[in-house]
Structure 1
Amino acid sequence: MDALHLLLNRSSQPRLSAPAPSDQVLENIMQAALRAPDHACLTPWQFIVCQGKGLDKLGALYEQSAIENGKSQQEIDRAVKLPHRAPMVVVAVAKYVEHEKVPRVEQIASASCGVMAMQMAAVAQGFNGMWRTGSYAQCDIVKQGLDLTEDDEIVGFLYLGTPAFEPAPKPQRNSADYFTFWN
């Protein structure tokens, strides 16, 4: 797939099925993440790949979070199932490293760029994904269950798998609505 076509036609895929990326395809996806912009070469990221029983473990963390946050029984039952919307979920974490020239926001942006790179690498190889966040990305219970520190930031859960259908084309946006030129 041509890189420009990939970028101009990027679309998340909410319905994903097996198989998940594996072997060299998965390695390419992981390597793409590691090429994210990284000021001062801090590598301020950690990626946790959940599949199989790992999805069950992630669902158990969501369930615990839902229970401890007083959610309804329906929301608790749903929480366990959320990771199983795809055969693989990559938890993307910004691991803040104190640095005089690289602020926290830039390190979070770097980890976020890693997520975008992973999704694009997946699409380029015939897979797709959906970048999700939500309350579980901000939850201390989930962070603790993943052995993260207070300074760590979950920037998203990248659901990866085989697209269940071709997404509808997205309408083209008018760049003039979002870009201003200073000449």
Structure 2
Amino acid sequence: MPTPNPDALDFLLTRRSRPAKTLVAPAPDRAALAPILTAGLRVPDHGKLEPWRLVVLEGAALTRLAEVATRRAQKVGMDPDKAAKAAQMFSGAPLIVAVISAPVESEKVPEIEQLYSAGAVCLSLVNAALAAGWGANWLTGWTATDPAFLGEALNLRAPAEVAGYIVIGTETTAPPDRPRPEVEAKVTWVDE
């Protein structure tokens, strides 16, 4: 018989990302962030390729990324509201962990599977931050895939890109739960 972990299952059944705009300082310091990062990297990784890495963004780095996003948006003639939203994601965040998807050349493990592993890191970081008592949210947007932004802001070159920006901070308000999918509508049982 399996040994259940009811606390862990209850956490997973009730977990809820926190809207990034409701997260404020303080954010976890390095000591508090270390176990969150460690837990975040405990994900499925076929071939042990580690096709991801993390960049912790805080303080002046977040201000700089907001400025880079604003310049890039203006250069391409982006809608001002969309540009402001991207800049605010950085300037308004107490701390962001950028999960970099960095596929590794492999005959055995397809690139898409490596991308899924980076996505698993994103969710694992959010869950670890929530379990540690912080508020957390997984964001993306055009700054996650725009090559010019990524090159200037994070010194990334293709095929590397951002699988997710994980915003972590102190929760100011508890969000209401949102409607969840009905299991019966999403699950098909096959027994023959």
TM-score, normalization: structure 2? 0.88
Q: Which runs of 5+ in 1 are unaligned?
A: none
Deviates most, 48-57 or 4-13: 4-13
SS at match of 1:46: strand
Identify the residue that residue 26 of structure 1 maps to in structure 2.
33
Identify the residue that residue 114 of structure 1 maps to in structure 2.
121
Identify the residue that residue 187 of structure 2 maps to in structure 1.
179
Kept after mapping to 2: 8 A contact 1:94/1:111: yes
Kept after mapping to 1: 8 A contact 2:135/2:169: yes
Which amino acid counterpart does residue 26 of structure 1 have in structure 2?
L
Structure 2: distance between partners of 1:177 and 1:168: 23
SS at match of 2:43: coil
Identify the residue that residue 169 of structure 1 maps to in structure 2.
177
TM-score, normalization: structure 1? 0.92
Structure 1: distance between partners of 2:30 and 2:160: 29
Structure 1: distance between partners of 2:190 and 2:80: 54
- Structure 1's 74 and 180: CA in aligned 2 closer, same or farther, altered over 3 A? closer
Question: In percent, how many aligned pairs have the same letter?
Answer: 33
Alignment pair present for 1:141 and 2:148? yes
Identify the residue that residue 61 of structure 1 maps to in structure 2.
68
Deviation at 1:44, TM superposition (A): 0.5
Deviation at 1:169, TM superposition (A): 2.2
Deviates most, 18-27 or 37-46: 18-27
Identify the residue that residue 109 of structure 2 maps to in structure 1.
102
Deviation at 1:43, TM superposition (A): 0.6
SS at match of 1:169: coil
Kept after mapping to 1: 8 A contact 2:86/2:141: no
Structure 2: distance between partners of 1:40 and 1:72: 42
Identify the residue that residue 9 of structure 1 maps to in structure 2.
14
SS at match of 1:158: strand
Deviates most, 167-176 or 28-37: 167-176
Once the two structures are superposed, residues 121-157 of structure 1 have per-residue CA deviations (whole angstroms, 9 ceiling, x without a partner) of: 1111110211111111121122212111211131111
Q: Which runs of 5+ in 2 are unaligned?
A: 1-5
Once the two structures are superposed, residues 144-175 of structure 1 have per-residue CA deviations (whole angstroms, 9 ceiling, x without a partner) of: 12111211131111111011111212334311
Identify the residue that residue 71 of structure 1 maps to in structure 2.
78
Identify the residue that residue 123 of structure 1 maps to in structure 2.
130
